[in-house]
A and B are shown apart, each in its own frame.
Chain A
Amino acid sequence: MIRIKCPYCGERDHSEFTYGGDASIRYPALDASREDWTQAIFFRENIRGFQKETWHHLNGCRMWLEIERSTVTHEIKSVKPCHPDLQKIMDSKK
């Protein structure tokens, strides 16, 4: 079981969350070219090691999180809200 420290809910089992995908992808503007979209949607670096990825706290606060996690050991280095404003709120409460 991976234990994820949700910034809002605290440490929880990963089964409360769903894995989103590679957080390093920068989705292009809606009117961007087909080539840019093709790269963003279909192509992956598929890192073996630490990668930034998104998780959704589906059965919790429903926050989308950016997590730095090893795809080999599953060790987690950092967890933060994807939304920068949520991050700011979290910081201000510290």
Chain B
Amino acid sequence: MTRFNAWNVFKNGLNGQKGWSRQWRDPEPRSNYDVIIVGGGLHGLATAYYLAKNHNLNNIAVLEKGWIGGGNAGRNTTIVRSNYMMPGNHQFYEHSLKLWENLSHDLNYNVMFSQRVHVSLFHSPGAKDSYARRYNIMRLNGTDGELWDLKKLKKKIPILNYNNARFPIMGAAVQPRAGNARHDSAVWGYARSANALGVDIIQNCEVTGITRQNGNIDSLQTSKGSIKGKKIGFAVAGNTSRLWQMAQLGNLPIESHKLQAFVTEAIKPFLDHVVVYGVGGAHFYISQTDKGSLVFGGDLDWYKSYAQRGNLPIVQDVAEAAMAILPSIGRLRLLRHWAGIMDMSMDGTFFICKTPISNLYLNAGWNYGGFKASPASGWYFADLIANEQPHKYIQHHHLERFEQGINLDERGAGPDPKLHG
């Protein structure tokens, strides 16, 4: 594998870019693997990478029904942060943020993680207090977090609506180390590095059936034939329920909802931070890509759906939410909007756990938090698959937690998946 660095970019500039080769192979599946990860998104690819890197496994396949990164990995708004407060969740997301910080070097692929400061606006004393709780927990766990008063906020982000907002901005809770990244390059970076460690990444390979033997999974039937795996991991986000039912495991605490995302035409630098807020029933988050587009999003479309396309009411809603804090973007034009299928869980928190089938492992329920989580998700899922024991950070992230009364509900919204955005 030719290393990615300025020297090789220069050399290839001279030779007409002839020195580059495939970033990952396009292998035919073998008949037998030690571990098969179903799902070639960020979580699946990261899992394969860490299985190979941290646990020295080398007979691993990632099966992807379409093209890698074609699901939510390539549809999200690319925000990376670790401002979670429930025990376990916080340490998990903080570890993820730490992995992001060195991911470009680790993968030798520029994932463009820009620690440009994540700014959560608040509009009432009550909201400030509730951020104080969250950010105090972050601080007490060694994570960065601070409150900005209005004066500081105005100085840092002068273009917000401080004059005639329906809900006057009072200040912000801030995580300086948080920011945004380039989603596709994280996918390709993991794929390239996993591939270099011997992982077979098999695209256009859809799982169509699951053959069980003695209670275990024996093999997966796929569009590229039958493939045996000693251990199987599911990392298929919105499609988890279908695979789960294919394995005859019944119902899951997951509903698939669609979340829209929006991108504008590219403009010169306009917004240097990640800005988010929620007030008056609105929910909004925005940042500018390095290419110059503003990328933003809001709430779910509010009804269950497997369609990767949105509807107008939320388009309108999100545009209103954008104008509410950034009144100067009225003349900027929306270039595209689309939707991804979120695996919304019953408490807004994910699952990385064992399953009723002893050689099947589950990684799902990412709600809004999947992109930022992907490095840690791969890390701990790989750890679980290799060691067959959950790490203490994810010890409660299993399917029995509801019956056991374990609460990982960051929002306190209760068992209604659509409320966990």
A and B are partners in one complex rather than unrelated chains: yes
A: which residues have CB within 8 A of B? 1-2, 13-15, 18-19, 21-22, 34-35, 38-39, 41-46, 48, 51, 53, 55, 71-74
Contact B313 A48 (CB under 8 A): no
Contact A42 B256 (CB under 8 A): no
Q: Chain B: interface secondary structure?
A: mixed
Contact A42 B415 (CB under 8 A): yes
Q: A39–B251 Cα gap in the complex (Å)?
A: 9
Q: A87–B415 Cα gap in the complex (Å)?
A: 29
Residues in B whose Cβ lies below 8 Å from that of A53:
303-304
Tell whether A34 pairs with B251 under 8 Å between CB atoms, given A53-B304, A72-B306.
Answer: no
Does any Cβ of A come within 8 Å of B346's Cβ? yes
**Beyond A1-B311, A42-B253: 6 further Cβ-contacts under 8 Å?**
A14-B311, A22-B255, A46-B254, A46-B256, A46-B304, A48-B241
Contact A38 B304 (CB under 8 A): no
Does any Cβ of A come within 8 Å of B14's Cβ? no
Tell whether A1 pairs with B313 under 8 Å between CB atoms, given A19-B302, A19-B303, A41-B402.
Answer: yes
Does any Cβ of A come within 8 Å of B157's Cβ? no
Contact A45 B304 (CB under 8 A): no
Residues in A whose Cβ lies below 8 Å from that of B346:
41-42
Q: How far is the CB of A85 from chain B (nearest CB, A)?
A: 26
12 contacts between A and B (CB under 8 A): A1-B313, A14-B313, A38-B402, A42-B253, A44-B255, A46-B241, A46-B256, A48-B241, A53-B303, A71-B304, A71-B307, A74-B305
Q: A63–B311 Cα gap in the complex (Å)?
A: 23
A13, A18, A35, A74: residue with the most chain B Cβ atoms closer than 10 Å: A74
Residues in B whose Cβ lies below 8 Å from that of A38:
402-403
